[in-house]
Structure 1
């Protein structure tokens, strides 16, 4: 049978992750290469999260990591995003973190209380089989643009109206 050619159909979806950050690109290459040759679910999850867009990799607060550390204190917490400091936390428990990026104040606070901070490529030096690893993800709806998604006029809806005119008699958010 002859194969029929489909003309005019172009696949415009992105097939390869594009990043100007050389370190991020090398991490993606490392984890995708490892995930092809292993059946470990955590490696495949980390590789998938590394390939996510910047909007999908939400930053994680130090308070959320401290709450997760209370549930399982012996595990290594892996965050495929940026870790930010919480100024309301004065004392944090001892924890081990492996993350993509970390703020200077958060790193100083973790190391002050006896914790350890690793990069994502150092995680194989800590635990070779990736046992006792806890993946932590940031809140998806934390960004301000999520407040505008949905219908704003429905009773009980907490969404903000998308109005360009911010005058006196224009559309405003109902505080109910």
Structure 2
């Protein structure tokens, strides 16, 4: 049942002057809540749901229009991501309808990191550490301070730096 609800929220957001098409999905995800309408944890078979049980949680259409922070994502970020996933030039063209200079994109030092709310980690060659950088934009009140909250799966240690994000009004 989530699909028609989220589709309606996304369609409404397309008319918002503050949100561009690339920011709609991340703002829906970042403003979702991990509690139900009564303020209690979302349940899965009468147990508190885990991240993989509930995804990002219950969408909140009112908060989505005023997310505060937003992951700054652009169409080129998706193209770079497709290149990093080793899609061919013709596959990328069939998705984007753009001719991509594949070799130039692959030389960019952005790693395998789509500037997106969720992370996917593949550990190869015994490497156990991964570092991700995320680009955020304050679309909320000027002079805002946000605390970083991480919900890591069991057995995974996540260190977020900094733990507080401060934004000042620009002139």
> After TM superposition, is the score higher than 0.5?
no
TM-score normalised to the size of structure 2? Answer: 0.26
Q: Which has the higher strand share?
A: 1
TM-score normalised to the size of structure 1? Answer: 0.25
Highest RCO, 1 vs 2 (Cα 8 Å, sep ≥ 6): 2
